[in-house]
Structure 1
Amino acid sequence: MTTSLADHLRSLPDEALAALLQLRPDLVLPVPADLSALAARAQARVSVARALDGLDQFTLQILDGARLTRDPSDGTTSVDAILAVAAVPAQGADPAAVRGALNRLRALFLLYGPEHALQVVAGVDEVSSPYPAGLGRPALDLDPSAAALCADPARLRRTVLAAPPAARAILDRLAAGPPVGTLPPRALETPTEEATGPDAAGSGAGSPVRWLVENALLVPISDTDAGTGGTAVELPREIGLLLRRDSGPLGPMQPLPPALGTAALREPKAVDSAGAGQAMELVRQTESVLEAVAADPPPVLRSGGVGVRDLRRIARIVGLDESTTALLLEVAYAAGLVGEVDLTGATTTRAGADQQVLPTASYEAWRAGSLARRWEQLATAWLAMTRQPGLVGQRDDRDRLITALSPEVERAGTPTARRALLGVLAGLDPGTAPGVDEVLALLAWRSPRRSRGREVAQREVLTEAARLGLTGLGAITSYGRLLLTDSATAESRVAAGTDDPLGVRLGADESTGEASVAVRALDELLPAPVDHFLLQADLSIVVPGPPEPTLAAELEVLADPESAGGASVHRVTATSLRRALDAGYAADDLHALFQRRSRTPVPQGLTYLVDDMARKHGGLRVGSAGAYVRSDDEALLTEVVADRRLSTMSLRRLAPTVLATPFQVGRLLTMLREAGYAPVPEDASGAVVLTRTKVRRAPARVAVTNRAADPLAAPRLTTPRVLGIVEQMRRGDAAARAARRAPDPVRGGAGRTGGAATTAHAHTQALATLQQAIRDKVLVWVGYVDAHGATTSRLVRPVSIGAGYLRAEDERTEMLHTFALHRITAAVLDE
């Protein structure tokens, strides 16, 4: 006699139930009412599929062995039967490994029961292949002729040995699994036609498939291909087992993960150095992309995302390919550094219309941080974001181009895939750099159900990890390992709600300002920020390391960048000095800045250039007339009027020191500067107007790193919380059993099926019973109608009646409940 899963769960101690909930935390979302509900949920398709997704290839093969060896009468199997098919002498696994896999399956309650009567939970057959271990159904279930052939082992072997070579090749393919193939329409009825398809080679006169069908080695089945109307054939299980006599009933067994035969061994220091250099490059490239976005914000398409032309333009400006630019945009968006902003004066409210992409207010704070902190924010966002940048540039199901930042890039399982791939590298010795194919093979063994059909996306993840500096020379870096640990710990705190119930911060290091372990490790590898530069005679500035934020802001104003990297090069020009003077610097300020920052003598040519630009700067004043030009130097104004390059401005002298033009101030300033002059604008009072560029920013966004990395992941449960859930389910189970023992008038809702007089009489009688129970302080069975209209019963101890409500204590849960009197249908004293 078999035992149901619910009864089996009831017989377990609390510790065993707690272990189940910790291995399968999705079972408590929400908390089951009792153990029967827990058993039903543990056998549900979604929960079983989630449990199977985390199993390795060998454990899944052992589960197929359990399905394959079930007794047709009661559906049970045994450990000995599974060992018989798995631990065969030729190619089988070690019995200890088989027992270890069985223990994992029993711990997950995919198998349950005693060793001599193991049962497979119902949901396994629903979410797994209908052909366990790639073997077909028994011949008795398919065809009488095939069953008669398989019942005679000697005849079966002779028939298989007599098969033509082409027919034997078809048998070997089907024996490897899956055991079904498809024939074209009327292939078996028309000898002149030939069968096609990957699993059936020809069907005309003398064709191998026709020979196999005529000799009962293949059985036509009723299932047909809906698209072509072809007939399907199936290889009986007994024949498949015969053909697998060398490899075993379950096929080739692989108890251990595949070995890394061609993995290179790198020096860990070289791996960290290569990764740290790429991390610096990632931060620099991200800043360049966001600066290009800020300079010319791309519009948001009506369907969402950034257009192909805008992405191509940004990639050309920063000198990157489009795929890398899309990756940086997606990571910056996930980190909350870029977002959408509505244009001023927008007249439509349609999604994606009249919006631009701009850096957010968080971008300034990010720029002010250290290189390691900036990298950590980007890398953590990449780990946690549910977007797949590799899809940008491809086409969707409707043959539409997928653009960056569009909704079509969303893929919910991407964070899990990233962590799984990096987990493979983190599980190896430091400095081990396996090939891409070896990593994918190892991941396919660890989680074959999740990896099937996702090889392209997995290769993209490894490429992105290298671009982000998480890996170097093909191996994971030391700070990359620490980042995985830090982010997993922060995610567990967010998921469990112990450290951050609202999920609004990453962890303690953000609230206290303390750097994480990964940041400290990367800081030791990166060159220290410098607060100085080296001035050259050709007016070039060499910064021997990453500049401090203050120095970087100064260089952005007074010099033009020429090259980036570990040591960046900038150049001082007349244009850059004029930009600095426009921003409010005076000549003395620039001389002092160069003297303070430079570790080499300031070239005399630079001093002369600063003085010359300062002397020219402001010699002309531009206002609105259209616009006007004024200067105390009458000869300079005469030169401007006579300058042919300014003839289109229609300048005319209003006074010896004033010129006017019908054009606006902006155009006049541009034309004068292009002609080599150095004008400055002034307001109506004559004061100089500083022209530091105004920076537009999008509203602040919450980074994805403030949420759990995997939206599909179940919460991690602490031991006290799990034990509390187990106790709650035990109480619910006891209450359910007690409800089944309730008196008939309470269970049936006395008076509810009679007339109005009968119902009123039953309700009055119930109130009298409750008042008596309050006086005598005894237990009473109460039947009532809940909010969903269902009649339920509960054993309670009434405390008081008043204001239309009954207040009573449930002794099992030790909680005080309130019942509306008009919903009470019956009350019976407990005997």
Structure 2
Amino acid sequence: MSTSLADHLRSLPDESLAALLQLRPDLVVPVPADVAALAIRAQSRVSVSRALDGLDQFTLQIMDAARLTRDPADGTTSVDGVLALATTGPNPPAPTAVRAAVDRLRARFLLYGPDNALHLVGGIDEISPYPAGLGRPATELDPRTAALCADPAKLRRTLLSAPPSARAILDRLAAGPPVGSVPPGALQAPAVGADDDLPPDDTNGGAPTGSPVRWLVDHRLLVRVSGGKGGTTGMVELPREIGLLLRRETGPLGPLSSSPPQVAATPREPKAADSAGAGQTMEVVRHTEALLEQLAAEPAPVLRSGGIGVRDLRRLARATGSDESVAALLLEVAYAAGLTGEMELPGAAGRYGADQQVLPTAGYEMWRAGSLAQRWEQLARAWLTMTRQVGLVGQRDDRDRPITVLSAEAERAGAPAARRAVLGVLADLEPAAAPSAEEVLALLDWRAPRRSRGRENAHREVLAEAATLGVTGLGALTSYGRLLLAEATASEDDATDDPLGLRADAEDGGSAIRILDTLLPAPVDHFLVQADLSVVVPGPPEPALAAELEVVAEPESAGGASVHRITTGSVRRALDAGYSADDLHDLFRRRSRTPVPQGLAYLVDDVARKHGGLRIGSAGAYLRSDDEALLAEVLADRRVEALALRRLAPTVLVTPYQGGRLLSVLREAGYAPVAEDATGSTVLTRPKARRAPARVSVATRALDPLATPRLPLPRLLGVVEQIRRGDAVARAARRAPAVVRGATSDGPVPAHSHHDALAVLQQAVRDKALVWVGYVDAHGATASRLVRPVSLGAGYLRAEDERTEMLHTFALHRITAAVLEK
């Protein structure tokens, strides 16, 4: 069949071959040596499985129709035969829909050939052994069952006589898959005369039936296909003829639907959905900033097993007023965006035996300087592309250990593809459509059943995370979320066409940022000072205003309008950071839209007057002041007795402790000292923020790291031309005089063309001879190995390495040369 497919590929124009490579990009990694190698790769199990993964449920059912209508003699089918089988049963699909599905299969070369002699590529039967969920024909399973199926009247009578419990098993197997396991003893024959001892079966009118599976096997409705030790366990299979008979009400292929399920949910108001999502984006940015500030104040230690411990996660969630699940999501997203990272601890190990801490990186400062929309977009892009499944946090791994935040156990390579699939379903609906989770799962199951089945929990988690991050609002995809997904997908598709990013948008942000900016309240550059020294910011503050408020005020509440309070400690902190009293007065006059209360001016002047009244040096340390009465007060204060102060001069006190401790103890006691250097100049510093090494955000990666990059059409045409040249060289080599391979005067002669390499390998399998095999490994590097071929088929070479006594498997499309060992 590979030769037939190769001949068919050779007869196609370059544009058709390029279209095939565009639909199945894995066929050119690496570039095949010739058309024969391309045909073998197109039929390999891995490539065919990838092609099937992208097909919808209806197209897969039409492919099963082609498999069921194959001629046993030559293995071909026809479009008319597929159409006749697909339109059998209630509610048949339109013939145009069936032909369109056949065209989709032919475009991917899962079907090829003329309409009256269609071939299926090899590998499909290995991937899916039961077409349409039907078993094998009875002639392949058991001759006695085949005889029963050959008598339709007797078969119907046997089915009608089946007990209800046995009929339920038949109906379940008829729906597919047609095989099932049986418990121990279910197929054992009863002892002689033991029928009277069987318990009554209520489902059979009170008559004893024993095991329903045994009844079905005894009456040839099920065929035992394997058995365990002693014949007590095994598998049973429902023959195809019986399955088709049981499907007489639904059709041989089961229920067919050429269009996806309809969404019954009422669409939301687009403006309402965008407003709800925009409000959530503000909360996400605020909570993320609060989490990172808590990490900066108290870094979280990294467990020896990796990740952040449960107690630290609870501490961070409690400090920021969020749920643990939300805190875990934001920590994972911030790490993926490059805002947090690990830093080695100097010296001994820290808490929990860890030698690393998680804290903000230098990129966090740049992130804080951006607008709300820019900060959210960086987080959302990282979420789209990160290979982390946050829903696994808190669950147990294979070793029954809890999965923690940032641990390796939460790594899932298919997570980006799951997010793209779920958001793609929402994006393809009408704007502001808000389907339920069940409707989304049904759409995913119809679009790509092979990919979606078994991943329902992951898809539900994507919907919950999208709502938490503000990608969706009121259950509908927001307008800026739709643009974000489109931009991420477009950047992935254009990555190979523009690897250096020379055509990247030079503007400050994309369309998603601009749309979100119009939905969010405009940043404000002012605040309102109240008589009780509270400061109200009527909107999101500008980065400069937020930095000033962080120094001069204490936060009390956050949200659309945040509230801060000016205290003695906050004014002292501002003075320690380098502000003077005049600077603070000017700040409040310039930023406040209300008159500055007199109490605030008095507070600033009073704290500034006391600030710096005491000076601290580094002699051991020393404490000096021009106010002798103030020094006498400090010397007599019992709260600072632990410093062991003593007077050296009327204006100087000393202590055996370092200046840092002297400074902190005096401040805790209510004094306002400042440090000075050796020249007597005041030392005013901001607290030094610890930062982890900078990390690159995962938002620069492809949206689906498992997907093979799609090449543009001009490059694919160049690949086709290269394959054509290799095919011409292979044909010329086949027309050349035969050369005895394996020995010449200069040593072994390799088979350079793919066709010749396969001929050498086939000869080696027959002769059980040693052969040198040249191949391209998974990293694209060329290598060679001396092996003894065992088998050649299904797109793979299985060979034994006599040196290591190991069995190796080589994909035929990766083999570049073969030469017999001399």
Q: Bin the TM-score by the shorter chain.
A: 0.7 to 0.9
Aligned letter for 2:300? P
- Residue pair 1:376, 1:519 contacting (<8 A) in 2 also: yes
- Residue pair 1:297, 1:357 contacting (<8 A) in 2 also: yes
In structure 2, the partner of 1:412 is 413
Aligned letter for 2:504? A
2:677 matched to 1:683?
yes
1:630-685 alpha-carbon deviations (Å, 9 max, x no partner): 11111112222222322333322222212222333233222222222111122222
* CA–CA distance in structure 2, aligned partners of residues 695 and 753 of structure 1: 69
2:721 matched to 1:727?
yes
Q: Partner of 1:726: helix, strand, or coil? A: helix
- Residue pair 2:332, 2:406 contacting (<8 A) in 1 also: yes
Q: Partner of 1:282: helix, strand, or coil? A: helix
* CA–CA distance in structure 1, aligned partners of residues 213 and 744 of structure 2: 70
- Residue pair 1:21, 1:27 contacting (<8 A) in 2 also: yes
- Residue pair 1:188, 1:203 contacting (<8 A) in 2 also: no
* Partner residue of 2:245 out of 239, 242, 245: 242
Give the superposed CA RMSD.
2.6
In structure 2, the partner of 1:66 is 66
In structure 2, the partner of 1:340 is 342
In structure 2, the partner of 1:666 is 660
1:54 shift after superposition: 0.8
Given the superposition, is the C-alpha separation of residues 223 and 12 from structure 1 closer, same or farther in structure 2, using an over 3 Å criterion?
farther
In structure 2, the partner of 1:151 is 150
Aligned letter for 1:317? A
- Residue pair 2:148, 2:155 contacting (<8 A) in 1 also: yes
**Correspondence list, 1:531-570, <5 A:** 531-570=525-564
Tell me the TM-score normalised to structure 2 length: 0.86
In structure 2, the partner of 1:814 is none
Given the superposition, is the C-alpha separation of residues 736 and 164 from structure 1 closer, same or farther in structure 2, using an over 3 Å criterion?
same
The count of corresponding residues between Structure 1 and Structure 2 is: 743
1:347 shift after superposition: 9.3
Aligned letter for 1:470? V
Aligned letter for 1:216? R
* Partner residue of 1:330 out of 332, 336, 349: 332
* CA–CA distance in structure 1, aligned partners of residues 182 and 306 of structure 2: 46
**Correspondence list, 1:223-372, <5 A:** 223-224=227-228, 230-261=233-264, 263-345=265-347, 354-372=355-373
2:217 matched to 1:213?
yes
In structure 2, the partner of 1:765 is none
- Residue pair 2:188, 2:232 contacting (<8 A) in 1 also: no
Aligned letter for 2:136? R
Given the superposition, is the C-alpha separation of residues 320 and 506 from structure 1 closer, same or farther in structure 2, using an over 3 Å criterion?
farther
2:736 matched to 1:704?
no
- Residue pair 2:421, 2:444 contacting (<8 A) in 1 also: yes
Aligned letter for 2:249? D
1:180 shift after superposition: 1.9
Given the superposition, is the C-alpha separation of residues 272 and 593 from structure 1 closer, same or farther in structure 2, using an over 3 Å criterion?
same
1:282 shift after superposition: 1.1
* CA–CA distance in structure 1, aligned partners of residues 229 and 686 of structure 2: 70
Given the superposition, is the C-alpha separation of residues 545 and 506 from structure 1 closer, same or farther in structure 2, using an over 3 Å criterion?
farther
Aligned letter for 1:278? Q
1:577 shift after superposition: 0.3
1:626 shift after superposition: 3.2
- Between stretches 185-194 and 422-431, larger displacement belongs to 185-194
* CA–CA distance in structure 2, aligned partners of residues 663 and 229 of structure 1: 82
In structure 1, the partner of 2:8 is 8
Given the superposition, is the C-alpha separation of residues 204 and 353 from structure 1 closer, same or farther in structure 2, using an over 3 Å criterion?
farther
1:404-436 alpha-carbon deviations (Å, 9 max, x no partner): 112222111111110110000011111111111
**Correspondence list, 1:324-473, <5 A:** 324-345=326-347, 354-473=355-474
Q: Partner of 1:339: helix, strand, or coil? A: strand
In structure 1, the partner of 2:604 is 610
Aligned letter for 1:158? R
* CA–CA distance in structure 1, aligned partners of residues 747 and 631 of structure 2: 106
Aligned letter for 2:484? L
1:47-99 alpha-carbon deviations (Å, 9 max, x no partner): 11111111111111111111222222222111122122211242432221111
Tell me the TM-score normalised to structure 1 length: 0.85
* CA–CA distance in structure 1, aligned partners of residues 556 and 391 of structure 2: 31
**Correspondence list, 1:86-105, <5 A:** 86-105=86-105
- Between stretches 545-554 and 208-217, larger displacement belongs to 208-217
- Between stretches 639-648 and 735-744, larger displacement belongs to 639-648
1:10 shift after superposition: 0.9
* CA–CA distance in structure 2, aligned partners of residues 745 and 250 of structure 1: 53
Given the superposition, is the C-alpha separation of residues 134 and 224 from structure 1 closer, same or farther in structure 2, using an over 3 Å criterion?
farther
Q: Share of identical aligned residues, percent?
A: 71
Return 5+ residue gaps in structure 2 as ranges.
200-205, 750-781, 787-818
- Between stretches 622-631 and 151-160, larger displacement belongs to 622-631
1:682-718 alpha-carbon deviations (Å, 9 max, x no partner): 2222221213110121221121122222211111221
- Between stretches 3-12 and 279-288, larger displacement belongs to 3-12
* CA–CA distance in structure 1, aligned partners of residues 224 and 89 of structure 2: 34
1:789 shift after superposition: 10
- Residue pair 1:203, 1:210 contacting (<8 A) in 2 also: no
- Residue pair 1:204, 1:210 contacting (<8 A) in 2 also: no
Given the superposition, is the C-alpha separation of residues 126 and 79 from structure 1 closer, same or farther in structure 2, using an over 3 Å criterion?
same
* CA–CA distance in structure 1, aligned partners of residues 207 and 547 of structure 2: 77
- Residue pair 1:2, 1:74 contacting (<8 A) in 2 also: no
In structure 2, the partner of 1:25 is 25
* CA–CA distance in structure 1, aligned partners of residues 81 and 720 of structure 2: 34
* CA–CA distance in structure 2, aligned partners of residues 513 and 96 of structure 1: 46
1:787 shift after superposition: 9.4
* CA–CA distance in structure 2, aligned partners of residues 726 and 674 of structure 1: 77
Aligned letter for 2:301? P
1:172-216 alpha-carbon deviations (Å, 9 max, x no partner): 111111222222233333426999xxxxxx998544333322221
- Residue pair 2:187, 2:233 contacting (<8 A) in 1 also: no
Aligned letter for 2:686? R
1:402 shift after superposition: 1.4
- Residue pair 1:91, 1:246 contacting (<8 A) in 2 also: no
* CA–CA distance in structure 2, aligned partners of residues 753 and 491 of structure 1: 48
In structure 1, the partner of 2:589 is 595
- Between stretches 179-188 and 559-568, larger displacement belongs to 179-188
* CA–CA distance in structure 2, aligned partners of residues 304 and 90 of structure 1: 57
1:779-800 alpha-carbon deviations (Å, 9 max, x no partner): xxxxxxx99699xxxxxxxxxx
1:166 shift after superposition: 2.3
* CA–CA distance in structure 1, aligned partners of residues 414 and 301 of structure 2: 29
* CA–CA distance in structure 2, aligned partners of residues 39 and 105 of structure 1: 16
Aligned letter for 2:155? L
Q: Partner of 2:555: helix, strand, or coil? A: strand
Aligned letter for 2:712? T
- Residue pair 1:285, 1:318 contacting (<8 A) in 2 also: yes
* CA–CA distance in structure 1, aligned partners of residues 508 and 368 of structure 2: 18
Given the superposition, is the C-alpha separation of residues 9 and 224 from structure 1 closer, same or farther in structure 2, using an over 3 Å criterion?
farther
Given the superposition, is the C-alpha separation of residues 581 and 725 from structure 1 closer, same or farther in structure 2, using an over 3 Å criterion?
same
* CA–CA distance in structure 1, aligned partners of residues 38 and 318 of structure 2: 57
1:229 shift after superposition: 5.4
* CA–CA distance in structure 2, aligned partners of residues 426 and 710 of structure 1: 17
- Residue pair 1:92, 1:247 contacting (<8 A) in 2 also: no
* CA–CA distance in structure 1, aligned partners of residues 210 and 513 of structure 2: 71
- Residue pair 2:188, 2:214 contacting (<8 A) in 1 also: no
In structure 1, the partner of 2:752 is none
1:11 shift after superposition: 1.2
1:265 shift after superposition: 1.7
Given the superposition, is the C-alpha separation of residues 507 and 398 from structure 1 closer, same or farther in structure 2, using an over 3 Å criterion?
farther
Aligned letter for 1:433? A
- Residue pair 2:64, 2:131 contacting (<8 A) in 1 also: yes
Aligned letter for 2:451? R
2:512 matched to 1:518?
yes
In structure 2, the partner of 1:48 is 48
- Residue pair 1:358, 1:697 contacting (<8 A) in 2 also: yes
Return 5+ residue gaps in structure 1 as ranges.
196-201, 760-785, 791-822, 824-831
